[in-house]
Amino acid sequence: MADGNNAQPLSTKPIPGGTTRVLIADDDHVNRLILKAILAKEGYAVEVAENGREAVEKFDAWQPDLVLMDIMMPVLDGYEATRQIKDLAGDSFVPVIFLTALSDEAALARCVAVGGDDFLTKPYSRIILKAKIDALERVRRLHVTLRRQRDELAGHQRRLMQEHQVAEKVLAKIVHSGNLDAPQIKYMLSPMAIFNGDMLLAARKPSGGLHVILGDFTGHGLSAAIGTVPVADIFYGMTDKGFSIRDILATINDKLRVILPTDVFFAAALLELDATHSKLTIWNGGNPDVLIRRRNGHVDALPSDHLPLGVIENDQLDRGVRVVEIEAGDRVFAFSDGFIEARDASGQMFGIERLTATLAGEPQADALFDDLLRALGDFVGGLSLGDDLSLIEITCDPGWATTRTTEVPRAFRPRAPMRWSLVIELVPETLRSIDPLPLVMHLMMDLQGLQEHREQLYAVLMELFSNALDHGLLRLDSSMKQTPDGFVRYYELRKQRLAELDHGSVRLELQHSPDGQGGLLHFTVEDDGAGFDHAQVFAPLQQNVSFFGRGIPLLKSICDRLEYSGSGNHVEAIYRWGRKEASSLSD
């Protein structure tokens, strides 16, 4: 209803020039005229309503920027009209100024409670009215700006989350956990964000042992996680081909030196667990101590003795590894610095000493992993961790050598038998610089597709080659491994004699010939060293719990024929495949 004029339909068109739109709700005709005249003179666009219900309807239709609301009105009072208007406004800020002659505090408090933003007392002052409207209009425009920025940020956040989800799926396919689900492994990863620089991977070696890498890139989030992609690719690819951790870490270092900025590096511990020979080989560059909890409760610490990866060039990188004797039931623990640097309410760190004491003090070995997590949780209380956190426990188990954890894809199963041969002769310089076994294995897999036999074939190659090099050329005695000190001394002496070797060679010949729907692999390994006592009688493989004398019994259990000649520096072995694959070859 218009004031003394014919009713005019409301215009929902935008007001030119960004003019502020004001709705006046007052049942007093004179008050409406006075307020409308004052506001129109100040350049505001104005609509009026003579009761609360009409005010709500006009607000819904016209969407004003500000409302002047009388309290005492017929049909619907100002309190209820304001409450409904605020509901209609939703999360938009529409200021409501109550028009009142009341001075009762309870009534004024109710105005605020239903959503009022200010008061204007009667009689009206043009200057005060304009000042209040302008002040609330500034607040409203600020609120509009904040809403727009909030919506933009929400849109950016949605897009970012979508990109994160895609990146997470891609990273999960590349940086997968590998064999962390093996029964001998317990682990925990606690990242601070979706992407993080902590890395924990495990992969079985072709010989049946295990490779593990636990590391931490500088920083947090996506920038730290990017480096995990090439590391995972190198780690899985080279482990699958049979390369040692010395070769793997050198390749990782070379790659990181190329792709990482100068202030980013990768602190990492690489572990190689060889159940067949009861040894742990470790390289630790910048990571916390790796701990071995022995069956008797004693804890050995293997500290970092190298720089992190990605810091120096390969020609300066120390690839020296530490070889340690392990026994069935020993447990190896590796963790990131986030574990020992976790702090309690007083700022004190958990520390390596507290961790070691927890391992040494628990008589039940199976409870060690859970005890560590419980001890850390009790220490930090309800505080959040200040860093990414990784922990792994590996129980030394001879079953690694015989347990297959993954099925070979059909595409990698044996090809139709072919006739081929391969000859490699290695002299001292070559023996010091490369490990030929991964290369030979790779050729065998490519030529014949014997993925299902890779563990047995790697074991044959490794034993034949190691006997020729260690016993033939380097004249090492495996009986040194009877004691822990002798075990360490054996590998120290091996490293020394290989560095000093200036003559001699190892010749490796492989011949493959079809045999029905399978084939025969004929291995011949010859060295020009002094040989060794190959005829020595050792305990059967299953009964031999010592750290030497398992190689030849293992070869006899795998090969169809094993024959040493001369002083032990010439050996021939025949491995037959195809008995179980006949049906697959005819598919």
Minimal CA–CA distance to 82: which of 98, 65, 63?
98
- DSSP secondary structure letter of residue 569: T
Q: What is the per-residue pLDDT for 270?
A: 96
Phi-psi region of 367 (alpha: psi -120 to 50; beta: other; left: phi over 0): alpha
In sequence order, the 6+-apart residues with CB closer than 8 A to the CB of 299 are 291, 292, 293, 356, 359, 360
Q: Tell me what pLDDT residue 199 has.
A: 86
Residues in the chain: 587
402-438 burial, b if ≥16 CB within 10 A, otherwise e?
Answer: eeeeeeeeeeeebeebeeeeeeeebebeebeeeeebb
pLDDT given at position 65: 93
The residues facing 524 across adjacent strands are 509, 572
Local structure of 515: helix, strand or coil: strand
Helix pair angle (351-361, 368-380), 10° resolution: 140
pTM: 0.62
Please say whether the beta carbons of 574 and 521 come within 8 A: yes
CB 538 within 8 A of CB 480: no
Query: CA 293, CA 355: separation in Å to the nearest integer?
Result: 11
pLDDT at 8: 47
Question: Which pLDDT tens digits describe the chain residue by residue (587 residues)?
Answer: 444 444 444 444 444 446 889 999 999 999 999 999 999 998 999 999 999 999 999 999 999 999 999 999 999 999 999 999 999 999 889 999 998 876 778 888 888 999 999 988 888 888 999 899 989 989 988 998 998 999 999 888 888 777 767 766 766 666 666 788 888 899 988 764 556 678 899 998 887 789 999 998 887 666 677 778 889 889 998 888 888 899 999 999 999 988 888 788 999 999 999 866 788 999 999 999 999 999 888 999 999 999 999 999 988 999 889 999 888 889 999 999 888 888 888 889 999 999 999 898 777 888 899 999 999 989 988 766 666 788 999 998 766 544 444 444 444 456 778 889 999 999 999 998 888 888 888 888 888 878 788 878 888 998 899 899 999 999 988 888 777 778 778 888 988 999 999 999 999 999 999 988 789 999 999 999 888 877 775 555 555 455 566 778 888 888 999 999 888 889 999 999 885 443 333 33
| Phi (first) and psi of residue 540, to 5 degrees | -55, 150
Go through the domains of the chain in sequence order and give each one's CATH number.
16-146 (3.40.50.2300), 175-401 (3.60.40.10), 410-585 (3.30.565.10)
d(CA 381, CA 375): 10
Between CA 330 and CA 323 the distance in angstroms is 15
Q: Are 266 and 215 in contact (CB under 8 A)?
A: yes
